Structure 1
Amino acid sequence: MTLVLEAAVLGILTGGVYALMASGLTLIFGVMRIINVGQGALVILGAYLSFVLFRTWHVDPFLSLIVTMPVMFALGVVLQLIFIRPLTTDREALSVLVTYAIALGIEGILGYIFSTNYVQLRAWYETASFAIVDFHITYVYVFGFLLCLAILGALFLMLYRTTFGAAIRATMLNRTAAQLIGIDVDRVAALAFGIGMATAAAGGVVFGITNAFNPGSHYDLISRLLTIIVLGGLGSLRGAVIAALIMLVTEDITAVVVSPVWASFAFFVILVAVLIVRPQGLFGLRVRDRI
């Protein structure tokens, strides 16, 4: 029983990190209706930026977010303006190719600079832990979860308590209608892409503290993030958060109760079951054909 409880707690803490990484992906889809398959590479890029700051100036990984998040936000705006905005025809299909090309470019550059060896972010408190019942939890997981929770909270407040957030939600609901009421949807799209990359940077730092990574780690990440937003519902921020928690808790408990080999399989069983009942995901909107 203690092992199951420990697995559930660890799943929640880790799920918060994946929720943050997936939030940017689902936000970008909601605003621009594109699948950013480069999100995993952007997460790894954020982790490497923090790694450079740590190795060069011994900046604490969490404090490095003061630098990495604005840098990644600005880079996201630039990438959207240069590579995504010019796509006028068949944007949905072409955007997958373009963002995949961006991911490959990032992987190649990082591989050239850092090689393919695995690295990990370090902090003086990485081994410190505290006891709950009969098991120990390291502070790194708790700090990372609280950080992700704070950023997700700020993201929700921005979306539902600011004028810009209202513009984002209007664009997500109906891009044409948003244009008709005077919203600059191109500006909203560029800023949303930047926000998506900033959340990727934050998620990358927490991921890099708790996991070893290399330039090719983005392949596993993007497959998991895409699975999360499909379960939660494409374009649903709330769905991404809940789906991430379901995924990680299910995997961790299955690994303890059954076997690590069956961990991912158990989640995919849940995914298939949900999609059979609700093809649009837990919180996605059902799309109806108009005649």
Structure 2
Amino acid sequence: MHTVIQALIVGVLTGGVYALMASGQTLIFGIMKVVNLAQGALVIAGAYLSYSLFTSFGLDPFLSILVTTPVLFGAGAGLQLLFLRPLREQDRQELSLLVTFAIALGIEGVLSVTYKTTYRTIRTGYADDSYTVDGYQISAVRLYAFILSIAMLALLYALLERTRFGRAIRATVQNPESAQLLGVNARSVAAVGFGIGAATAAAAGAVYGILYSFNSGSHYDLISRLLSIVILGGLGSIGGSIVGAMVMGVVASLVAALGTPIWSDFSFFAVLLAVLLIRPRGLFGASLRGAL
């Protein structure tokens, strides 16, 4: 029982980080109906930026998000303007897969040239610290990462629910034609929304760089996990992606603790397949499709 509870703790903390990554992916799909295959590459870019700030200037990775999130917000908005906006509306959903995959390859190429392909990790002074609570070990880094993820998700929720721009986003998601008739500039909303998705990737990347070793090709495994989470939760549902991330994190942690870590990666796809056989639209897709 001790092993199970310990695995549950690790799974929940890890799931919080995945939830932050997947929220940006879901937001982009909700606004533009674009499956962003570059989200994993943007996370890795955020990890490299935090790594550079840490090694060159000694800036703590958790503080580095104050720099990396605005940088990747601008990069994300720019990518949308340059590569996705010119696509014809009737072809956007199909061509966006190719375009965002090409963007991911481009980011990988730039990172490979800049940092080579050697695996890197961000080794902070507290990387190995932990807290003991009633006999259970809680990694300090995972705990801080979970708190950061919750704070960022709360800010995203406040943006969507409490601001005029958030109402414009939700109107665009629910009915783009009616939103434009009411004066919402859907093209600007799409650019800013893509930028916000990239900004969440930057914040998650700083955490990812502390928890895991990474190189320029790490985005392939990462995007497969993010797509599994988003589809499991229901395309277009941020709440669903959070629940999906928690489920995936807990299941993977339990499999690693009770079985073998080799199968923990496969558990993402096993859970996804099992849920989709029962609910083809994901956990929340039926009731929340088209809403954030």
State whether residues 232 and 242 of structure 1, in contact with CA within 8 Å, keep that contact through their aligned partners in structure 2.
Answer: yes
| Range with bigger deviation, 6-15 or 159-168 | 159-168
Aligned residues: 288
Counterpart-to-counterpart distance in 2, 1:62 and 1:98: 31
AA paired with 2:238? L
Q: Which residue of 1 aligns with 2:119?
A: 118
Q: Which residue of 1 aligns with 2:232?
A: 231
Q: Which residue of 2 aligns with 1:128?
A: 129
Q: Which residue of 2 aligns with 1:9?
A: 9
- Structure 2 gaps, min length 5: none
SS in 1 for 2:285: coil
Counterpart-to-counterpart distance in 2, 1:270 and 1:78: 36
SS in 1 for 2:131: strand
SS in 2 for 1:83: helix
AA paired with 1:259? T
SS in 2 for 1:216: coil
Residues 25-64 of structure 1: pairs in structure 2 closer than 5 A: 25-64=25-64
- Cα deviation for residue 91 of structure 1 reads 0.5
- Cα deviation for residue 267 of structure 1 reads 4.1
TM-score, normalised on structure 1?
0.95
Residues 88-127 of structure 1: pairs in structure 2 closer than 5 A: 88=88, 89-127=90-128
Counterpart-to-counterpart distance in 2, 1:253 and 1:213: 23
- Structure 1 gaps, min length 5: none
- Cα deviation for residue 70 of structure 1 reads 0.5
Question: What whole-Å deviation, never above 9, does each CA across 1:229-255 have from its counterpart, x for those lacking one?
Answer: 000000100000000000010111122
Q: Which residue of 1 aligns with 2:212?
A: 211
State whether residues 120 and 213 of structure 2, in contact with CA within 8 Å, keep that contact through their aligned partners in structure 1.
Answer: yes
Counterpart-to-counterpart distance in 2, 1:286 and 1:86: 32
Counterpart-to-counterpart distance in 1, 2:286 and 2:64: 37
C-alpha RMSD of matched pairs (Å): 1.5
Is the alpha carbon distance of 1:42 and 1:135 closer, same or farther for their aligned partners in structure 2, counting shifts above 3 Å? same
Is the alpha carbon distance of 1:251 and 1:287 closer, same or farther for their aligned partners in structure 2, counting shifts above 3 Å? closer
Counterpart-to-counterpart distance in 2, 1:265 and 1:68: 31
Residues 1-291 of structure 1: pairs in structure 2 closer than 5 A: 1-88=1-88, 89-285=90-286
Counterpart-to-counterpart distance in 1, 2:266 and 2:224: 14
Question: What whole-Å deviation, never above 9, does each CA across 1:10-60 have from its counterpart, x for those lacking one?
Answer: 000010000000000010000000111010000000010111111111111
Counterpart-to-counterpart distance in 2, 1:120 and 1:227: 25
Give the 4+ runs in structure 1 shifted more than 6 A: none
State whether residues 280 and 286 of structure 1, in contact with CA within 8 Å, keep that contact through their aligned partners in structure 2.
Answer: no
State whether residues 77 and 190 of structure 1, in contact with CA within 8 Å, keep that contact through their aligned partners in structure 2.
Answer: yes
Q: Percent identity?
A: 53
- Cα deviation for residue 259 of structure 1 reads 2.8
TM-score, normalised on structure 2?
0.95
Counterpart-to-counterpart distance in 2, 1:19 and 1:177: 30
| Range with bigger deviation, 107-116 or 275-284 | 275-284
- Cα deviation for residue 173 of structure 1 reads 1.1
Counterpart-to-counterpart distance in 2, 1:126 and 1:261: 24
- Cα deviation for residue 287 of structure 1 reads 10
SS in 2 for 1:90: helix
- Cα deviation for residue 142 of structure 1 reads 0.6
Counterpart-to-counterpart distance in 2, 1:237 and 1:205: 21
Counterpart-to-counterpart distance in 1, 2:2 and 2:102: 45
